[in-house]
Amino acid sequence: MYSIEDFDKAKTKILKYIVYKRRTEQEVRQKFQNEFDEEMFEDIIDYLKEAKYIDDKEYIEKIINNFQILKNLSNKELKYKLIAKGLDRDLIEDYFYENKEELEEYEIKSAYNIFLKKSKDMEQDEIKQYLMKKGYRQSSIKQAVVNGDGPF
């Protein structure tokens, strides 16, 4: 068993790590895996999840929103980035299922943005190949490239 002082000290240390930058449960586990008593560490994780300091569902939503604002990525690339963060694949799939239309629209816009950028120094077929390698779906590429004047 552990003392309340030990629990609070460990919790504060982990909270500082989370508050500095939003973290996934997996990132917290990796960072502190051998630092604390196992039972206490699990209790802290449970506490942080209940208090919503660790919320992987919300994390997925926030990180995807950030990527949509800042980057041009295929949905496949988005999924890989989330999996690399150690997020549960089922949570990721659920999010993509629930936000299917919005994510498809984002992927078409991304493909179109890349098409515009690359069309200065690449042929259309080369751009299509490039987009396919980046994980864009055929339908997204077709909508972005065939339209030529944009998917909107």
**What pLDDT score does 59 carry?**
96
Contact 73, 137 (CB under 8 A): no
Residue-range domains of the chain with CATH? 4-54 (1.10.10), 57-147 (no CATH)
Contact 87, 117 (CB under 8 A): no
Confidence of residue 41 (pLDDT cuts 50, 70, 90): very high
CB environment 12-32: b (16+ within 10 A), e (fewer): eebeeebeeeebbbebbeeeb
* pLDDT, tens digit (0-9, with 9 covering 90-100), for 84-117: 999 999 999 999 999 999 999 999 999 999 999 9
Residue where the block lists tokens 């994780």: 45
Contact 96, 128 (CB under 8 A): no
| pTM metric for this prediction | 0.83
> Hey, is 142 helix, strand or coil?
helix
